[in-house]
A and B are shown apart, each in its own frame.
Chain A
Amino acid sequence: MMSITYPHFGSLTYLFEIFLNELGRYDIVKPKNPSRKTAIIGSRHSPEFICTPFKIVLGTFMESIEAGAYELVMGGFQAHCRFGYYWPVLKMILEDLGYDFRFIILDQTNPVEFLRVLKNDVSDNLKLFQILKTLRIVWNKFCCIELVDKLLSRYRAVEFDKGSSELVAEKAFKLIVEEKGIRNIKDLKKKLPGLFEKEVSKDTKVNPLKVAIIGEIYVVLEPSLNLEIHKRLNELGVIVDTPVSLRNYVDFEGIFNPFKKSHKQITLRKAKHYLEHSCGGDAQASIGDTILYKEKDWDGMVHLYPFTCMPEIISKSILPQISKEHNMPVISLTIDEQTGEAGFQTRLEAFVDLLERKKESNCK
């Protein structure tokens, strides 16, 4: 049996599973939630000063291969940063460790190749039109998953019964995974906000702070790496949002509706004045979003980036200027597998304190 696996990537992990199922693959080794141990074995075999996501992906693949996986699927495209090298380096390392496996690389920047790989290497003998159909389903489910994440990061901050929003989110994810048919999925998406509204009882007294998280996509979206920052902020009573999304890399809506301005285009326009050209990764977006959220009247930004991440060191160096010129508090935190919880928590609390004081003095 040639079992297939993929990296762990926050709630998008659900999406990858859905995707494979839609393509007729049920022989899946689901990646485990990355643990301390995953990070340790990953970094033991990783290059010196490689960026942190690499170590987690390596550790995850090692665990999955040991659990019986043979085909490893991951993205890989050429940008200004290292992401496109992940698979060749991973391949060499895993080979040298003596594992038996095969890589399947999906490059969404090259649609023809992307579809070819899906059809020939991943899917269970599907026809091209069937694959296109699954893409539509997967995209819509992706929108649902993203919405649940958003709702969770909002409701958890104001929930009355601790843990109730997470229960709803879990239920929602399950519904999304199981739902069939494009109509039903679209309907489900409309129902999701109501689900949270109905089932989470809110603490109505509070007037919560609102903070957006920006930065490198993997560290922002993978809770096991970012020490569950969304939850931590929520528990401090802060509503959290993140503009960081897979959308910034694959934009289906943009393909079907070229007149709609994507979020990415809007942020890039805002960032232009400070960082005119793409430096890879999410650097320009981090800058543009800070300005955008200020305009939407949010209270502050948390900028996360993995240790040695190239694009985000650039944005981190420019963000202080943005923060000053737009009067928007920003805290930049670098994260790697050794980031300690205690220090991290203290810094978040101090930041939230600062925002609270700022808000109070503004109200007066």
Chain B
Amino acid sequence: MVVKLTMKVGIPRALLFYKFFPMWTTFFRELGVKVIVSPNTTKQIKTESVKHAPDEDCYSTKLYFGHVMAIKDEVDYLFIPRFGSSHKTNVSCPKFIGLAEVLQSMFPDLPPIIMPFYSTAKSGHGKRRLIYLIFSIGFKFTKNPFRIIKAARRAYKEQKVHYENLILDEKTLHKWEQTEYLLNNFLSPEEGERPIKIALVGHSYVLNDDFASLNIQQILKEHGVDYITSEQLPRSLVEKQMDKLDYNLYFDYEREILGTIMHFIERKSIDGIIHLIIFSCGPDSITGEMAARYAQRDPSVPLLQLTFDELTSETGLETRIEAFLDLSRRRKK
């Protein structure tokens, strides 16, 4: 009897995984591949990260190293895309492009890395490139082109559904801003009192990594805060804010971050903004400064900027958040 071996592809749960996981996991699964995603970040993963990653790297990239180490021994391939950009002119952080090759160079014993390169802004990639990539990856695992097409379609659909569920439409956002609608419906606000509303702003891979963000979402929930994340803000509103700048914020994901902050500074519809910054992050050094200065110029919505790295302490963080929420509450009245 022939035992049919399924190939295993490992995907580190870090960085862009948090944006593209529906697409990536679905694609491989539909090809009949076993997808192994590294577990949620743990203390041990952090320790491994710090041990293996270059000292000066940003905290999020360091964590990527730990996630690679966590799964490298049980997979046949690692999937680490080299992602340049998906926008006509705007780019992403260069680390997304270099990471796969850095890992390969530093750890030659890793399993083979599948590293598709995609860059609309600098290389003019579009649909054709995408189809090429889909097939070149697909044929590693199946000979059936129809299966590949089907997998790609499903993957695309999953990603779309994910965005649809995640991103609010302008109407819902407006209702939320008017407190006619709660985003965190587990709340039981006391009669007649509206919960405080906060925007939680940062990279997807910080917002959604409970370990890296020291459970900030949980902390906010426990304090009865109705929060919105920068991922949820309608893109159209982000772009509207970006159009007001006299320069082009060409790091695509930073647009979401600064755009959300500017939107709420302008609308003054919430009680506070919490901005999560990654230690030693290049793009954040720019947006962090911009955000701080816009907030200073128009201080009606308080802004709290928190910097995260491997040494940030949970208690210190909680105290700062509590103090900030107190301030927001007092302002609300």
Q: Which residues of A contact B (CB under 8 A)?
A: 47-51, 78-82, 84-85, 87-89, 92-93, 96, 274-281, 283, 307-308, 310-311, 313-314, 316-318, 320-321, 334
**With A78-B89, A278-B97, A321-B106 already in contact, 5 other A-B pairs whose C-beta atoms are closer than 8 Å:** A47-B289, A80-B122, A81-B94, A82-B283, A84-B250
Binds A, one of B29-37, B164-172, B240-248: B240-248
B285 touches A47 (CB 8 A): yes
Closest 6 CB pairs of A and B: A314-B98, A47-B289, A88-B247, A279-B94, A80-B94, A310-B282
B94 and A47 form a contact (CB under 8 A): no
A307 touches B94 (CB 8 A): no
The total of Cβ contacts below 8 Å across the A-B interface reads 115
**Number of residues of chain B lying within 8 A (CB) of chain A:** 42
Give Cα A89 to B106, complex, Å. Answer: 35
The closest CB in chain A to the CB of B56 belongs to A313
Are the C-beta atoms of A49 and B285 separated by less than 8 Å?
Answer: yes
Tell me which of A82, A89, A316, A321 contacts B282 (CB under 8 A): A82
Tell me if A279 and B286 are in contact (CB < 8 A). Answer: no
B136 touches A (CB below 8 Å)? no
Please tell me if the beta carbons of A275 and B98 are within 8 angstroms of each other in the complex. Answer: yes
Taking a contact as CB atoms under 8 Å apart, the answer to whether A307 and B56 are in contact is yes
B95 within 8 A of A: yes
B47-77 interface mask toward A, CB cutoff 8 Å, 1 = contact, 0 = none?
Answer: 0000000101100000000000000000000
Pairwise interchain contact B282-A308, C-beta atoms closer than 8 A: yes
The chain A residue sitting closest to B85, CB to CB, is A80
Contact B119 A310 (CB under 8 A): no
Question: Does B105 contact A316, Cβ atoms closer than 8 Å?
Answer: no
A105 (CB) vs chain B CBs: closest residue: B247
A47 and B250 alpha carbons, distance in the complex (Å)? 18
5 contacts between A and B (CB under 8 A): A49-B279, A82-B286, A92-B289, A279-B95, A314-B95
CA distance A314 to B53 in the complex (A): 11
Please determine whether B307 and A48 come into contact, CB atoms closer than 8 angstroms: yes
- Residues of B near A334 (CB, < 8 A) are 56
* Nearest-Cβ distance from residue A143 to partner chain B, whole angstroms: 28
A308 with B280: CB separation less than 8 A:
yes
Do B98 and A82 touch across chains, with their CB atoms under 8 A apart?
Answer: no
B117 within 8 A of A: yes
The contact of B98 among A84, A279, A307, A308, by CB within 8 Å, is: A279
